[in-house]
Structure 1
Amino acid sequence: MVKKIQKKTPIALFESIHNESIPEAIVWQFEELILNGILKEGARLPSERHLAEQLQVSRPKLREALTVLKERGLICSGPSESAEIARLTKNALSPALIDLYLRHPKAIDDHLEYRRVQESFAARLAALRATDEDRQALTSIIDEMVKANENNDSDIETELDICFHLAVVDASHNRHLIHTMASLYELNRKGLALNRKYLSNVHEVAKKLLQQHQAICTEICAGRPEEASAAAETHIDFVRWSMKEAQDNLERSHNAKKRSMARQSFSPHNK
């Protein structure tokens, strides 16, 4: 007798609505998706027709809910009359303040001191709460990191570095961490790019960073919170050290150029 294989029902992003107050139920579902970091800012929503089909509601009820979401500033009009998730987190720091941080290494180090606690906490929670999907997301990013490292592609390595830490925070399933990390995205990205730009041994450092990311991923996927937390702290400690080395290299180069100019300007042969 052949055993009949049952097909798994795919999980839909939006769930059908069964509620007397249909618009309120739609709004609540959107708010939950946004809070949980599932619908991220800038995400384009399906057409009104497709949304109504997924939610199994009438289009007038859907429009009523979308109006409420727009009034609350959670969605906005996108290109071609579409709707999208509004910019909610914004940057924790203005572009001018980010650039100010980048010009003052001590400010960047203060930020990394804060991130050490944040990343450690996120990794600990991720080791306790990560789902199969979270673990798959982390390992997929690590695979891409390995390829980028082999190709010495610093730009892709930088973007994947940010993606990895965002994925760890997502795996923590802590709503506040998810949105706080998103608000610091630009500072983290520019800080990493600056770090790699001025490191004299950038390839060696990139290899160590990859190993550290692999260690964090391994501990999270193994469900070891203490080890995951320690791996995250070790990683940020190394980033702080490499940032200091990068700044020292920049200062040495600046002083060497000044010495060269001084030798040319004040050489006895020029008198």
Structure 2
Amino acid sequence: MPKTAILDPVDHDSVSEAVIAQIEDVIIAGVLKSGQKLPSERELAQQTGVSRPKIRAAIQTLEDRGLLTVKHGEGTFVASLTGTALSPAMIDLFARRPQAFGDYLEFRREVEGFAAFTAAQRATTEDLAIIQQILDEMADATVAFDAAHELKLDVQFHGAVVDATHNAMLVHTMASIYELLARGVFLGRNMEYLDTTRRAVLLEQHQAIGLAILDRDAQAAAAAAEEHINFVELSYREANSLERRTDMARKRRSLFTTQRPMKTRSRPPS
């Protein structure tokens, strides 16, 4: 399958500016996201029909604007564009404050519903193909009981739905939100609590969202997305409750054991 070019041929007088404009367009549209590697200078030159020195000049300008980062020996990458909300200190703070999860889900419940609704209306054939492929992979991962891969696909699925809205503000805002999910800040320690039944439910919910989008049923897509977040919230709270009960029972048993009188073994008659 031929590799799809991310840039178009350039026939503008100011070729460097034309290349800059195209790269900025694919960044703001979320085609290229924070940390993603750009094709090599040679590939970009071939895609645009522009000389490599002009490509290099365009990259330098975008680096000066803080949009690209050039790592010598590695290549050119989109700079971190999600702000400071995901600094290591902030991520650690989220992880130490489980109550923040309620705010996280409250935000996601509203946005996910809007995203699914909008994606059902705006998704292109290519968007729908990506969503379908992820759903297929999700089904395989659930059968394999591969928790790590399931989490990765979960992030990819919700990201694909947001991408299908073609709303640049939403794409970049949610990229930072999904980063928390990808790093397992909230759900990581509770993944094992998701038994076979719950994993099957999660798969069915993702399928309901995806199929509604594929069917262009915006209302059903929004409802399925909100139901999914409600289920995630309930499962998380149940997992935390079980963890706390288990911890208290363990302490109670430890105390019970230490307070029991030691049994002495009687000596056999001589």
TM over 0.5: yes
In 2: Cα distance, 1:90 partner to 1:143 partner: 33
1:80 CA drift (Å): 1.5
Pairwise CA distance, 1:93: 3.0
Which residue of structure 2 aligns with residue 3 of structure 1? Answer: none
RMSD: 2.0
**AA at the equivalent of 2:187:** L
- SS of the residue 1:77 aligns to: strand
Whole-Å separation in 1 of the counterparts to 2:40 and 2:244? 55
Task: Name the amino acid aligned to 1:135.
Answer: L
Q: 1:14 to 1:248 in 2, by over 3 A?
A: same
Give 1:13's match in structure 2, choosing from 6, 12, 37: 6
Check if 1:111 corresponds to 2:104: yes
Shift of 1:240: 0.3
TM-aligned CA distance change 1:98 to 1:10, over 3 Å: closer
Which residue number corresponds to residue 238 of structure 1?
A: 231
* Equivalent position of 1:252 in the other structure: 245
SS in structure 1 at match of 2:77: strand
Tell me the secondary structure at the aligned position of residue 150 of structure 1: helix
Structure 1 position 263, deviation (Å): 0.5
* 1:255–1:45 distance in 2 versus 1, CA, 3 Å: same
TM-score (norm 1): 0.89
Q: CA deviation at 1:219?
A: 0.5
Whether 1:64 aligns to 2:26 is no
Deviates more, 1:182-191 or 1:110-119: 182-191
Q: Deviations over 1:45-88 (max 9, x none)?
A: 33323322221123332222222111111112135263222222
Quote the Cα distance in structure 2 between the aligned partners of 1:106 and 1:50.
47
Following the alignment from structure 2 to structure 1, what is the Cα–Cα distance between the partners of residues 94 and 54?
48
Higher alpha-carbon deviation: 65-74 or 81-90? 81-90
Give unmatched runs, 5+ long, in structure 1.
Answer: 1-8
Q: 2:128 aligns with which of 125, 135, 142?
A: 135
Equivalent-residue separation in structure 2 for 1:268 and 1:46 (angstroms) = 73
Q: Give the distance between the partners of 1:39 and 1:93, measured in 2 at CA.
A: 19
Distance 1:90 1:140 in 2: 31
Q: Distance in 1 between matches of 2:148 and 2:50?
A: 45
Q: 1:96 aligns with which of 80, 89, 95?
A: 89
What is the aligned counterpart of 2:189 among 165, 187, 194? 194
2:70 pairs with one of 60, 74, 77: 77
- Residues in 2 aligned to 1:192 and 1:130: alpha-carbon distance in whole angstroms: 29
Question: 1:109, 1:234 → 2: CA distance?
Answer: 15
Q: Once superposed, which parts of structure 1, at least 4 consecutive aligned residues long, lie more than 4 Å away? A: none
Deviation per residue, 1:136-190 (Å, 9 max, x gap): 1111111111111111111111111111101111111111111111112332131
> In structure 1, the residue corresponding to 2:187 is in which secondary structure?
helix
What amino acid does structure 2 have at the position aligned with 1:156?
H
Q: Which sits farther off after the overlay, 170-179 or 47-56?
A: 47-56
Counterpart in the other structure of 1:126: 119
Listed as ranges, the gaps of 5+ residues in structure 2 are 264-270
- What letter is aligned with 2:189? L
Cα deviation for residue 212 of structure 1 reads 0.1
Structure 1 position 95, deviation (Å):
2.8
Count the aligned residue pairs.
Answer: 260
> Identity, % of aligned pairs?
44
Provide the residue aligned with 1:159 in structure 2: 152
